[in-house]
Chains A and B, each alone.
Chain A
Protein backbone atom coordinates (compact mmCIF):
# COMPACT_ATOMS: atom_id res chain seq x y z
CA UNK A 1 0.00 0.00 0.00
CA UNK A 2 1.27 3.48 -0.84
CA UNK A 3 2.10 6.24 1.61
CA UNK A 4 -0.79 8.01 3.23
CA UNK A 5 -1.47 11.19 1.29
CA UNK A 6 -3.17 14.20 2.69
CA UNK A 7 -5.04 17.02 1.07
CA UNK A 8 -6.13 20.47 2.17
CA UNK A 9 -9.85 20.98 2.47
CA UNK A 10 -10.25 24.74 2.58
CA UNK A 11 -13.95 24.47 1.80
CA UNK A 12 -14.38 21.71 4.34
CA UNK A 13 -14.45 18.00 3.58
CA UNK A 14 -17.35 16.63 1.64
CA UNK A 15 -20.07 15.54 4.08
CA UNK A 16 -21.77 12.15 3.95
CA UNK A 17 -24.76 13.74 2.28
CA UNK A 18 -26.01 14.14 -1.27
CA UNK A 19 -24.49 16.45 -3.86
CA UNK A 20 -25.16 17.12 -7.51
CA UNK A 21 -23.08 17.35 -10.65
CA UNK A 22 -22.80 21.01 -11.64
CA UNK A 23 -23.61 21.52 -15.32
CA UNK A 24 -23.19 24.77 -17.23
CA UNK A 25 -26.96 25.09 -17.73
CA UNK A 26 -27.40 25.45 -13.96
CA UNK A 27 -24.30 27.35 -12.90
CA UNK A 28 -25.83 30.83 -12.66
CA UNK A 29 -29.11 29.64 -11.14
CA UNK A 30 -27.26 27.57 -8.56
CA UNK A 31 -25.21 30.50 -7.30
CA UNK A 32 -28.25 32.78 -7.29
CA UNK A 33 -30.53 30.37 -5.42
CA UNK A 34 -28.04 28.26 -3.49
CA UNK A 35 -30.29 25.20 -3.18
CA UNK A 36 -29.82 22.88 -0.23
CA UNK A 37 -27.45 20.35 -1.74
CA UNK A 38 -24.42 19.42 0.32
CA UNK A 39 -21.70 19.54 -2.34
CA UNK A 40 -20.89 19.79 -6.03
CA UNK A 41 -18.93 17.73 -8.50
CA UNK A 42 -17.64 18.83 -11.91
CA UNK A 43 -15.73 17.14 -14.70
CA UNK A 44 -12.11 18.18 -14.26
CA UNK A 45 -11.48 18.55 -18.00
CA UNK A 46 -14.14 21.26 -18.28
CA UNK A 47 -11.97 23.50 -16.11
CA UNK A 48 -8.57 23.10 -17.76
CA UNK A 49 -8.69 26.56 -19.32
CA UNK A 50 -7.17 29.91 -18.53
CA UNK A 51 -10.44 31.70 -17.88
CA UNK A 52 -13.90 32.38 -19.20
CA UNK A 53 -17.42 32.44 -17.79
CA UNK A 54 -17.49 28.76 -16.80
CA UNK A 55 -14.38 29.05 -14.65
CA UNK A 56 -15.70 32.23 -13.10
CA UNK A 57 -18.99 30.49 -12.31
CA UNK A 58 -17.20 27.60 -10.62
CA UNK A 59 -15.13 30.05 -8.58
CA UNK A 60 -18.38 31.57 -7.33
CA UNK A 61 -20.02 28.21 -6.67
CA UNK A 62 -17.12 26.86 -4.63
CA UNK A 63 -17.49 29.77 -2.23
CA UNK A 64 -20.73 28.13 -1.10
CA UNK A 65 -20.27 24.40 -1.65
CA UNK A 66 -17.50 21.84 -1.10
CA UNK A 67 -16.23 20.59 -4.44
CA UNK A 68 -15.17 17.32 -6.02
CA UNK A 69 -13.19 17.11 -9.29
CA UNK A 70 -14.09 14.07 -11.37
CA UNK A 71 -11.80 13.27 -14.28
CA UNK A 72 -12.91 11.49 -17.43
CA UNK A 73 -9.86 11.81 -19.66
CA UNK A 74 -6.70 10.42 -18.08
CA UNK A 75 -7.23 6.86 -19.29
CA UNK A 76 -5.45 5.54 -16.20
CA UNK A 77 -5.22 1.94 -17.39
CA UNK A 78 -3.95 2.66 -20.90
CA UNK A 79 -0.79 0.72 -21.71
CA UNK A 80 0.46 3.86 -23.48
CA UNK A 81 2.02 6.38 -21.09
CA UNK A 82 -0.19 8.91 -19.34
CA UNK A 83 -0.34 12.27 -21.09
CA UNK A 84 1.92 14.54 -18.99
CA UNK A 85 0.16 17.67 -20.27
CA UNK A 86 -3.22 16.34 -19.21
CA UNK A 87 -1.88 15.32 -15.82
CA UNK A 88 -0.30 18.74 -15.31
CA UNK A 89 -3.65 20.37 -16.11
CA UNK A 90 -5.37 18.16 -13.53
CA UNK A 91 -2.84 19.33 -10.97
CA UNK A 92 -3.39 22.94 -11.94
CA UNK A 93 -7.15 22.56 -11.62
CA UNK A 94 -6.66 21.04 -8.15
CA UNK A 95 -4.44 23.95 -7.11
CA UNK A 96 -6.97 26.43 -8.45
CA UNK A 97 -10.18 24.94 -7.08
CA UNK A 98 -8.88 23.06 -4.01
CA UNK A 99 -11.37 20.18 -4.23
CA UNK A 100 -12.03 17.95 -1.27
CA UNK A 101 -12.15 14.87 -3.51
CA UNK A 102 -10.44 14.01 -6.79
CA UNK A 103 -11.50 10.99 -8.80
CA UNK A 104 -10.94 9.10 -12.05
CA UNK A 105 -12.02 5.79 -13.58
CA UNK A 106 -10.77 2.20 -13.67
CA UNK A 107 -10.49 2.33 -17.43
CA UNK A 108 -8.21 2.88 -20.38
CA UNK A 109 -8.72 5.42 -23.14
CA UNK A 110 -5.82 5.91 -25.54
CA UNK A 111 -3.48 3.91 -27.74
CA UNK A 112 -1.17 4.64 -30.63
CA UNK A 113 -1.44 8.39 -30.04
CA UNK A 114 -5.22 8.39 -30.46
CA UNK A 115 -7.63 9.17 -27.64
CA UNK A 116 -11.07 7.61 -27.84
CA UNK A 117 -12.56 9.91 -25.19
CA UNK A 118 -14.53 7.11 -23.66
CA UNK A 119 -14.21 5.00 -20.52
CA UNK A 120 -13.01 1.69 -21.99
CA UNK A 121 -13.02 -1.45 -19.84
CA UNK A 122 -9.96 -3.31 -18.62
CA UNK A 123 -9.76 -7.09 -18.31
CA UNK A 124 -9.87 -8.20 -14.69
CA UNK A 125 -6.46 -9.88 -14.62
CA UNK A 126 -3.46 -9.82 -12.33
CA UNK A 127 -1.53 -7.95 -15.03
CA UNK A 128 -4.23 -5.26 -15.22
CA UNK A 129 -4.31 -4.91 -11.41
CA UNK A 130 -0.55 -4.34 -11.35
CA UNK A 131 -0.69 -1.92 -14.24
CA UNK A 132 -3.62 0.13 -12.94
CA UNK A 133 -2.25 0.23 -9.38
CA UNK A 134 1.11 1.46 -10.68
CA UNK A 135 -0.61 4.17 -12.71
CA UNK A 136 -2.71 5.26 -9.73
CA UNK A 137 0.45 5.49 -7.61
CA UNK A 138 2.10 7.54 -10.37
CA UNK A 139 -0.83 9.95 -10.43
CA UNK A 140 -1.08 10.21 -6.66
CA UNK A 141 2.65 10.86 -6.39
CA UNK A 142 2.43 13.58 -9.00
CA UNK A 143 -0.66 15.21 -7.51
CA UNK A 144 0.55 14.76 -3.93
CA UNK A 145 -2.79 13.40 -2.81
CA UNK A 146 -5.05 10.40 -2.89
CA UNK A 147 -7.49 9.88 -5.75
CA UNK A 148 -10.67 7.82 -5.88
CA UNK A 149 -11.09 5.26 -8.65
CA UNK A 150 -14.57 4.54 -10.02
CA UNK A 151 -15.98 1.24 -11.28
CA UNK A 152 -17.23 1.34 -14.89
CA UNK A 153 -20.31 0.48 -16.84
CA UNK A 154 -19.35 -2.15 -19.40
CA UNK A 155 -20.94 -3.48 -22.56
CA UNK A 156 -18.84 -6.63 -22.74
CA UNK A 157 -16.63 -8.86 -20.60
CA UNK A 158 -13.22 -10.17 -21.65
CA UNK A 159 -12.64 -13.90 -21.83
CA UNK A 160 -9.21 -13.15 -20.31
CA UNK A 161 -10.67 -11.91 -17.01
CA UNK A 162 -9.79 -14.15 -14.10
CA UNK A 163 -10.97 -11.95 -11.21
CA UNK A 164 -14.37 -10.62 -10.26
CA UNK A 165 -14.80 -6.88 -10.71
CA UNK A 166 -14.92 -6.33 -6.93
CA UNK A 167 -11.78 -8.38 -6.34
CA UNK A 168 -10.08 -6.41 -9.09
CA UNK A 169 -11.02 -3.08 -7.46
CA UNK A 170 -10.06 -4.34 -4.01
CA UNK A 171 -6.62 -5.35 -5.28
CA UNK A 172 -6.10 -1.93 -6.92
CA UNK A 173 -7.12 -0.29 -3.64
CA UNK A 174 -4.71 -2.47 -1.64
CA UNK A 175 -1.77 -1.93 -3.96
CA UNK A 176 -2.19 1.77 -4.73
CA UNK A 177 -3.63 3.39 -1.63
CA UNK A 178 -6.43 4.94 -3.68
CA UNK A 179 -10.00 5.23 -2.48
CA UNK A 180 -12.97 3.83 -4.36
CA UNK A 181 -15.84 5.72 -5.92
CA UNK A 182 -18.68 3.23 -6.05
CA UNK A 183 -21.05 3.88 -8.93
CA UNK A 184 -24.18 1.95 -8.01
CA UNK A 185 -25.82 2.59 -11.37
CA UNK A 186 -22.78 1.07 -13.09
CA UNK A 187 -23.08 -2.03 -10.92
CA UNK A 188 -26.73 -2.37 -11.94
CA UNK A 189 -25.93 -1.74 -15.61
CA UNK A 190 -23.28 -4.46 -15.51
CA UNK A 191 -25.69 -6.84 -13.78
CA UNK A 192 -28.01 -6.59 -16.80
CA UNK A 193 -25.33 -6.29 -19.51
CA UNK A 194 -22.89 -8.90 -18.21
CA UNK A 195 -24.80 -10.94 -15.65
CA UNK A 196 -22.74 -9.47 -12.79
CA UNK A 197 -23.99 -10.37 -9.30
CA UNK A 198 -24.87 -6.88 -8.06
CA UNK A 199 -25.75 -7.98 -4.53
CA UNK A 200 -22.46 -9.78 -4.16
CA UNK A 201 -20.57 -6.77 -5.53
CA UNK A 202 -22.13 -4.59 -2.82
CA UNK A 203 -21.42 -7.22 -0.18
CA UNK A 204 -17.78 -7.77 -1.16
CA UNK A 205 -16.38 -4.36 -2.10
CA UNK A 206 -13.92 -3.28 0.64
CA UNK A 207 -16.03 -1.00 2.83
CA UNK A 208 -13.08 0.95 4.15
CA UNK A 209 -12.14 1.99 0.59
CA UNK A 210 -15.43 3.56 -0.46
CA UNK A 211 -15.38 7.34 -0.05
CA UNK A 212 -18.02 8.38 -2.57
CA UNK A 213 -21.05 6.93 -4.35
CA UNK A 214 -22.47 7.88 -7.74
CA UNK A 215 -26.12 7.50 -8.73
CA UNK A 216 -27.41 8.09 -12.25
CA UNK A 217 -29.91 7.03 -14.85
CA UNK A 218 -29.38 4.82 -17.90
CA UNK A 219 -31.09 4.03 -21.17
CA UNK A 220 -32.54 0.59 -21.95
CA UNK A 221 -31.87 -0.68 -25.48
CA UNK A 222 -33.41 -3.83 -26.87
CA UNK A 223 -30.82 -5.88 -28.81
CA UNK A 224 -32.41 -8.98 -30.30
CA UNK A 225 -34.03 -10.73 -27.36
CA UNK A 226 -31.84 -9.05 -24.77
CA UNK A 227 -31.70 -5.72 -22.96
CA UNK A 228 -28.48 -3.75 -23.13
CA UNK A 229 -28.31 -0.79 -20.76
CA UNK A 230 -26.47 2.30 -21.94
CA UNK A 231 -24.98 4.41 -19.17
CA UNK A 232 -26.02 7.79 -20.56
CA UNK A 233 -26.68 9.72 -17.33
CA UNK A 234 -29.75 11.12 -19.02
CA UNK A 235 -32.66 10.23 -16.72
CA UNK A 236 -33.74 9.78 -13.12
CA UNK A 237 -32.25 7.06 -10.93
CA UNK A 238 -34.35 3.93 -11.44
CA UNK A 239 -36.05 2.01 -8.57
CA UNK A 240 -33.65 -0.94 -8.87
CA UNK A 241 -30.65 1.36 -8.43
CA UNK A 242 -32.26 3.11 -5.45
CA UNK A 243 -32.79 -0.31 -3.93
CA UNK A 244 -29.16 -1.32 -4.49
CA UNK A 245 -28.06 2.03 -3.09
CA UNK A 246 -29.99 1.43 0.13
CA UNK A 247 -28.29 -1.93 0.51
CA UNK A 248 -24.91 -0.31 -0.16
CA UNK A 249 -25.23 2.39 2.49
CA UNK A 250 -26.75 -0.04 4.95
CA UNK A 251 -23.49 -1.97 4.70
CA UNK A 252 -21.05 0.91 4.19
CA UNK A 253 -22.75 3.52 6.38
CA UNK A 254 -23.45 7.04 5.11
CA UNK A 255 -21.16 7.95 2.20
CA UNK A 256 -21.07 11.21 0.17
CA UNK A 257 -23.44 10.52 -2.72
CA UNK A 258 -23.63 12.29 -6.06
CA UNK A 259 -26.57 12.61 -8.43
CA UNK A 260 -25.03 12.54 -11.93
CA UNK A 261 -27.09 13.86 -14.82
CA UNK A 262 -25.04 14.75 -17.90
CA UNK A 263 -27.32 14.43 -20.93
CA UNK A 264 -30.86 15.77 -21.44
CA UNK A 265 -30.13 17.81 -18.34
CA UNK A 266 -33.41 18.73 -16.59
CA UNK A 267 -34.30 21.72 -14.43
CA UNK A 268 -32.07 22.24 -11.40
CA UNK A 269 -34.97 21.43 -9.09
CA UNK A 270 -35.17 17.91 -10.55
CA UNK A 271 -31.57 17.25 -9.53
CA UNK A 272 -32.17 18.80 -6.12
CA UNK A 273 -35.18 16.51 -5.63
CA UNK A 274 -33.07 13.45 -6.51
CA UNK A 275 -30.45 14.62 -4.03
CA UNK A 276 -33.13 15.00 -1.34
CA UNK A 277 -34.22 11.44 -1.99
CA UNK A 278 -30.66 10.22 -1.58
CA UNK A 279 -30.38 12.30 1.60
CA UNK A 280 -33.46 10.61 3.05
CA UNK A 281 -31.85 7.20 2.55
CA UNK A 282 -28.57 8.47 4.00
CA UNK A 283 -30.44 9.68 7.07
CA UNK A 284 -31.88 6.21 7.60
CA UNK A 285 -28.42 4.69 7.19
CA UNK A 286 -27.13 7.19 9.77
CA UNK A 287 -29.82 6.13 12.21
CA UNK A 288 -28.98 2.47 11.65
CA UNK A 289 -25.30 3.15 12.22
CA UNK A 290 -25.94 5.10 15.44
Chain B
Protein backbone atom coordinates (compact mmCIF):
# COMPACT_ATOMS: atom_id res chain seq x y z
CA UNK B 1 0.00 0.00 0.00
CA UNK B 2 1.31 3.43 -0.89
CA UNK B 3 2.09 5.71 2.00
CA UNK B 4 -0.31 8.62 2.20
CA UNK B 5 0.90 12.20 2.60
CA UNK B 6 0.52 13.19 6.24
CA UNK B 7 -1.98 15.94 5.52
CA UNK B 8 -4.43 13.45 3.99
CA UNK B 9 -4.73 11.15 6.99
CA UNK B 10 -7.90 11.20 9.02
CA UNK B 11 -6.05 12.30 12.16
CA UNK B 12 -4.34 15.16 10.40
CA UNK B 13 -7.53 16.38 8.71
CA UNK B 14 -9.47 16.28 11.97
CA UNK B 15 -6.63 18.11 13.73
CA UNK B 16 -6.71 20.88 11.14
CA UNK B 17 -10.50 21.00 11.18
CA UNK B 18 -10.57 21.22 14.98
CA UNK B 19 -8.06 24.07 14.97
CA UNK B 20 -10.12 25.94 12.37
CA UNK B 21 -13.21 25.62 14.57
CA UNK B 22 -11.47 26.36 17.85
CA UNK B 23 -9.16 29.27 17.09
CA UNK B 24 -10.26 32.88 17.33
CA UNK B 25 -8.56 36.17 16.55
CA UNK B 26 -5.46 36.28 14.32
CA UNK B 27 -4.70 32.57 14.91
CA UNK B 28 -7.99 31.64 13.26
CA UNK B 29 -6.88 32.95 9.86
CA UNK B 30 -3.92 30.59 9.71
CA UNK B 31 -6.00 27.68 10.98
CA UNK B 32 -8.74 28.29 8.41
CA UNK B 33 -6.13 28.57 5.66
CA UNK B 34 -4.53 25.27 6.67
CA UNK B 35 -7.88 23.49 6.49
CA UNK B 36 -8.79 25.29 3.26
CA UNK B 37 -5.67 23.74 1.71
CA UNK B 38 -7.36 20.34 2.15
CA UNK B 39 -10.64 21.38 0.53
CA UNK B 40 -11.75 21.18 -3.08
CA UNK B 41 -11.77 24.66 -4.63
CA UNK B 42 -14.60 24.68 -7.18
CA UNK B 43 -14.93 28.42 -7.45
CA UNK B 44 -16.46 29.04 -4.04
CA UNK B 45 -13.64 30.11 -1.77
CA UNK B 46 -12.79 27.20 0.59
CA UNK B 47 -12.34 29.58 3.54
CA UNK B 48 -15.97 30.69 3.16
CA UNK B 49 -17.04 27.06 3.28
CA UNK B 50 -15.04 26.57 6.49
CA UNK B 51 -16.79 29.61 7.91
CA UNK B 52 -20.13 27.77 7.74
CA UNK B 53 -18.80 25.21 10.21
CA UNK B 54 -17.30 27.92 12.43
CA UNK B 55 -20.68 29.65 12.49
CA UNK B 56 -22.44 26.36 13.29
CA UNK B 57 -20.08 25.55 16.16
CA UNK B 58 -20.58 29.00 17.65
CA UNK B 59 -24.35 28.92 17.16
CA UNK B 60 -24.74 25.44 18.65
CA UNK B 61 -22.86 26.44 21.79
CA UNK B 62 -24.60 29.79 22.12
CA UNK B 63 -27.99 28.20 21.49
CA UNK B 64 -27.45 25.72 24.32
CA UNK B 65 -26.62 28.57 26.72
CA UNK B 66 -29.65 30.54 25.51
CA UNK B 67 -31.93 27.62 26.27
CA UNK B 68 -30.49 27.34 29.79
CA UNK B 69 -30.32 31.07 30.60
CA UNK B 70 -33.24 32.70 28.74
CA UNK B 71 -34.03 35.18 31.51
CA UNK B 72 -30.43 36.29 31.91
CA UNK B 73 -30.26 36.75 28.15
CA UNK B 74 -33.33 39.00 28.18
CA UNK B 75 -31.82 41.03 31.01
CA UNK B 76 -28.38 41.60 29.46
CA UNK B 77 -29.57 41.77 25.84
CA UNK B 78 -28.82 39.49 22.88
CA UNK B 79 -25.57 41.19 21.90
CA UNK B 80 -23.99 41.15 25.36
CA UNK B 81 -25.14 37.57 25.90
CA UNK B 82 -23.55 36.47 22.62
CA UNK B 83 -20.23 38.03 23.66
CA UNK B 84 -20.42 36.35 27.07
CA UNK B 85 -21.20 33.02 25.40
CA UNK B 86 -18.15 33.21 23.14
CA UNK B 87 -15.83 34.27 25.96
CA UNK B 88 -17.18 31.43 28.08
CA UNK B 89 -16.76 28.97 25.21
CA UNK B 90 -13.09 29.96 24.85
CA UNK B 91 -12.49 29.10 28.50
CA UNK B 92 -14.97 26.26 28.90
CA UNK B 93 -15.43 24.51 25.56
CA UNK B 94 -17.92 21.69 25.26
CA UNK B 95 -16.55 18.43 26.66
CA UNK B 96 -19.48 16.25 25.69
CA UNK B 97 -21.53 15.25 22.70
CA UNK B 98 -24.53 16.16 24.84
CA UNK B 99 -24.80 19.96 24.92
CA UNK B 100 -27.17 19.95 27.86
CA UNK B 101 -24.47 20.39 30.49
CA UNK B 102 -22.41 22.98 28.65
CA UNK B 103 -23.74 25.78 30.87
CA UNK B 104 -22.88 24.07 34.14
CA UNK B 105 -20.05 26.49 35.01
CA UNK B 106 -21.57 29.53 33.33
CA UNK B 107 -23.27 31.00 36.41
CA UNK B 108 -20.09 31.04 38.53
CA UNK B 109 -18.02 32.15 35.53
CA UNK B 110 -20.44 34.99 34.76
CA UNK B 111 -20.43 36.15 38.39
CA UNK B 112 -16.99 37.67 37.81
CA UNK B 113 -18.19 39.57 34.75
CA UNK B 114 -21.70 40.75 35.55
CA UNK B 115 -21.23 42.69 38.79
CA UNK B 116 -19.30 45.67 37.45
CA UNK B 117 -22.20 47.98 36.66
CA UNK B 118 -24.23 47.50 39.81
CA UNK B 119 -25.96 44.43 38.44
CA UNK B 120 -24.45 41.80 40.72
CA UNK B 121 -27.93 40.30 41.03
CA UNK B 122 -27.59 38.96 37.47
CA UNK B 123 -25.10 36.36 38.70
CA UNK B 124 -27.64 35.12 41.26
CA UNK B 125 -30.28 35.06 38.54
CA UNK B 126 -27.93 32.84 36.55
CA UNK B 127 -27.52 30.53 39.56
CA UNK B 128 -31.30 30.29 39.79
CA UNK B 129 -31.60 29.44 36.10
CA UNK B 130 -29.02 26.68 36.44
CA UNK B 131 -30.95 25.31 39.44
CA UNK B 132 -34.03 25.24 37.19
CA UNK B 133 -32.08 23.40 34.51
CA UNK B 134 -30.96 20.73 36.97
CA UNK B 135 -34.45 20.40 38.43
CA UNK B 136 -35.98 19.89 34.97
CA UNK B 137 -33.99 16.72 34.31
CA UNK B 138 -33.87 15.15 37.77
CA UNK B 139 -35.66 11.95 38.68
CA UNK B 140 -39.05 12.17 40.37
CA UNK B 141 -39.67 9.61 43.08
CA UNK B 142 -43.07 8.55 44.42
CA UNK B 143 -44.11 10.97 47.17
CA UNK B 144 -44.40 9.62 50.69
CA UNK B 145 -47.79 9.74 52.39
CA UNK B 146 -47.83 12.02 55.47
CA UNK B 147 -49.29 9.11 57.46
CA UNK B 148 -45.79 7.60 57.46
CA UNK B 149 -44.49 10.51 59.52
CA UNK B 150 -47.44 10.21 61.89
CA UNK B 151 -46.26 6.67 62.68
CA UNK B 152 -42.94 7.97 64.07
CA UNK B 153 -42.93 8.22 67.87
CA UNK B 154 -42.86 11.84 69.15
CA UNK B 155 -39.63 11.27 71.10
CA UNK B 156 -37.66 10.28 67.99
CA UNK B 157 -39.25 12.82 65.61
CA UNK B 158 -36.42 15.34 66.00
CA UNK B 159 -33.88 12.76 64.80
CA UNK B 160 -35.80 11.79 61.71
CA UNK B 161 -34.55 13.05 58.37
CA UNK B 162 -36.77 13.71 55.38
CA UNK B 163 -35.48 12.65 51.97
CA UNK B 164 -36.71 15.22 49.47
CA UNK B 165 -37.32 14.96 45.73
CA UNK B 166 -34.05 14.76 43.74
CA UNK B 167 -35.24 17.74 41.70
CA UNK B 168 -35.36 20.07 44.71
CA UNK B 169 -32.82 22.91 44.53
CA UNK B 170 -32.32 25.87 46.87
CA UNK B 171 -31.04 29.31 45.86
CA UNK B 172 -30.70 32.23 48.27
CA UNK B 173 -29.71 35.74 47.28
CA UNK B 174 -29.51 39.21 48.82
CA UNK B 175 -31.39 40.31 45.68
CA UNK B 176 -34.98 39.63 44.54
CA UNK B 177 -34.03 36.80 42.17
CA UNK B 178 -37.46 35.15 42.25
CA UNK B 179 -39.07 38.40 41.15
CA UNK B 180 -36.39 38.87 38.48
CA UNK B 181 -36.98 35.34 37.19
CA UNK B 182 -40.72 35.92 37.06
CA UNK B 183 -40.31 39.25 35.32
CA UNK B 184 -38.11 37.58 32.73
CA UNK B 185 -40.64 34.94 31.68
CA UNK B 186 -41.94 35.38 28.17
CA UNK B 187 -45.47 36.12 29.35
CA UNK B 188 -44.21 38.81 31.77
CA UNK B 189 -41.46 40.22 29.54
CA UNK B 190 -40.89 43.89 30.12
CA UNK B 191 -41.86 43.97 33.78
CA UNK B 192 -39.16 45.92 35.67
CA UNK B 193 -37.23 44.29 38.50
CA UNK B 194 -37.71 46.20 41.77
CA UNK B 195 -34.42 45.67 43.60
CA UNK B 196 -35.93 47.31 46.71
CA UNK B 197 -37.76 44.03 47.29
CA UNK B 198 -34.50 42.83 48.84
CA UNK B 199 -33.37 39.30 49.58
CA UNK B 200 -35.30 36.34 48.25
CA UNK B 201 -34.91 32.65 49.04
CA UNK B 202 -36.09 30.23 46.40
CA UNK B 203 -36.90 26.53 46.44
CA UNK B 204 -37.03 25.07 42.93
CA UNK B 205 -38.91 21.84 42.24
CA UNK B 206 -40.11 20.07 39.14
CA UNK B 207 -43.18 17.92 38.77
CA UNK B 208 -44.54 16.13 35.71
CA UNK B 209 -45.98 19.37 34.39
CA UNK B 210 -42.86 21.47 34.83
CA UNK B 211 -40.98 23.82 37.11
CA UNK B 212 -42.33 25.34 40.32
CA UNK B 213 -40.39 28.13 42.02
CA UNK B 214 -41.34 28.91 45.64
CA UNK B 215 -40.12 32.13 47.25
CA UNK B 216 -40.01 31.43 51.00
CA UNK B 217 -39.32 33.52 54.10
CA UNK B 218 -35.74 33.08 55.27
CA UNK B 219 -36.52 30.80 58.24
CA UNK B 220 -38.64 28.46 56.14
CA UNK B 221 -36.06 28.45 53.38
CA UNK B 222 -33.24 27.56 55.77
CA UNK B 223 -35.38 24.80 57.24
CA UNK B 224 -35.97 23.27 53.80
CA UNK B 225 -32.37 23.79 52.72
CA UNK B 226 -31.16 22.09 55.91
CA UNK B 227 -33.44 19.11 55.32
CA UNK B 228 -32.21 18.92 51.73
CA UNK B 229 -28.66 18.93 53.08
CA UNK B 230 -29.42 15.88 55.20
CA UNK B 231 -30.13 17.48 58.58
CA UNK B 232 -32.74 15.72 60.73
CA UNK B 233 -35.92 17.61 61.61
CA UNK B 234 -34.67 18.92 64.96
CA UNK B 235 -31.46 20.30 63.52
CA UNK B 236 -33.28 21.76 60.52
CA UNK B 237 -35.62 23.64 62.85
CA UNK B 238 -32.62 25.00 64.77
CA UNK B 239 -30.61 25.88 61.67
CA UNK B 240 -33.57 27.74 60.23
CA UNK B 241 -34.49 29.31 63.58
CA UNK B 242 -37.97 28.14 62.63
CA UNK B 243 -40.73 28.87 65.08
CA UNK B 244 -41.95 25.47 66.32
CA UNK B 245 -45.50 26.63 65.76
CA UNK B 246 -44.68 26.94 62.06
CA UNK B 247 -43.37 23.36 61.84
CA UNK B 248 -46.71 21.58 61.24
CA UNK B 249 -47.50 24.02 58.45
CA UNK B 250 -44.10 23.50 56.83
CA UNK B 251 -44.43 19.72 57.04
CA UNK B 252 -47.93 19.90 55.59
CA UNK B 253 -46.56 22.00 52.73
CA UNK B 254 -43.65 19.62 52.02
CA UNK B 255 -45.90 16.55 52.01
CA UNK B 256 -48.68 18.37 50.17
CA UNK B 257 -46.33 19.34 47.36
CA UNK B 258 -45.15 15.73 47.11
CA UNK B 259 -41.62 16.77 48.01
CA UNK B 260 -40.97 14.16 50.70
CA UNK B 261 -39.97 10.78 49.32
CA UNK B 262 -38.68 8.88 52.37
CA UNK B 263 -37.95 9.07 56.08
CA UNK B 264 -34.48 8.50 57.46
CA UNK B 265 -34.75 7.00 60.93
CA UNK B 266 -31.22 6.80 62.37
CA UNK B 267 -31.91 4.46 65.30
CA UNK B 268 -31.93 1.42 63.05
CA UNK B 269 -30.64 3.04 59.86
CA UNK B 270 -33.93 2.13 58.23
CA UNK B 271 -35.46 4.07 55.41
CA UNK B 272 -39.16 4.23 54.76
CA UNK B 273 -40.18 5.05 51.23
CA UNK B 274 -38.25 5.03 47.99
CA UNK B 275 -34.77 6.45 47.45
CA UNK B 276 -32.46 6.45 44.51
CA UNK B 277 -29.83 3.77 44.64
Contacts and interface: CB of A to CB of B under 8 A. Distances in A.
B8 interface: yes
A26 to B, nearest CB: 16
Contacts of A230: 52
Contacts of B50: 156
A127 interface: yes
A198 interface: no
B11 interface: yes
Nearest to B98: A45
B40 A156 contact: yes
B14 A108 contact: yes
Nearest to A108: B14
A157 B135 CA distance: 43
A51 B53 contact: no
Contact of A86 (B64, B98, B136, B209): B98
A224 B18 contact: no
Nearest to B40: A157
Interface string B40-60: 101111101110110011001
A53 interface: yes
B38 A160 contact: yes
A158 B22 contact: no
B56 A110 contact: no
B61 interface: yes
A75 B45 CA distance: 27
B53 A120 contact: yes
Nearest to A110: B97
Contacts of B153: none
B210 A53 contact: yes
Contact of B38 (A85, A131, A159, A194): A159
B208 A56 contact: yes
A279 to B, nearest CB: 32
A208 interface: no
B209 A53 contact: yes
Contacts of B40: 156-159, 194
A48 interface: yes
Contact of A50 (B39, B56, B137): B137
A251 interface: no
B10 A73 contact: no
Interface in A113-134: 113-118, 120, 122-123, 125, 127-128, 131
B99 A158 contact: no
Contacts of A195: 42
B139 A51 contact: yes
B138 A127 contact: no
A111 B15 contact: yes
B94 A131 contact: no
Interface string A255-284: 000000000000000000000000000000
A223 interface: yes
Contact of B57 (A73, A116, A122, A228): A116
Nearest to B61: A117
A74 B97 contact: yes
A116 B21 contact: yes
B97 A156 contact: no
B206 interface: yes
A117 to B, nearest CB: 5
A50 B166 contact: yes
Most A CB contacts (10 A, CB to CB) among B64, B140, B209 go to B140
B151 interface: no
B9 interface: yes
A177 interface: no
Contact of B18 (A45, A55, A83, A114): A114
Most A CB contacts (10 A, CB to CB) among B15, B17, B137 go to B137
Nearest to B141: A51
Interface string A36-61: 00000000011011111111100000
B99 A155 contact: no
Given A53-B206, A117-B94, A78 B14 contact: yes
B8 A118 contact: no
A160 B43 contact: no
A120 B4 CA distance: 22
B132 to A, nearest CB: 11
Given A118-B56, A224-B45, 20 more contacts: A49-B137, A51-B166, A53-B207, A54-B136, A79-B10, A83-B96, A85-B96, A86-B96, A109-B97, A114-B18, A114-B93, A117-B64, A127-B10, A131-B10, A156-B40, A158-B39, A158-B40, A159-B38, A223-B48, A226-B44
Closest 4 CB pairs of A and B: A73-B97, A49-B137, A50-B139, A51-B139
Interface of B: 4, 7-11, 13-15, 17-18, 21-22, 38-40, 42-46, 48-50, 52-53, 56-57, 60-61, 64, 93-100, 102, 135-140, 166-167, 206-210
9 contacts: A49-B100, A51-B140, A53-B208, A53-B209, A111-B17, A158-B13, A159-B39, A226-B43, A228-B52
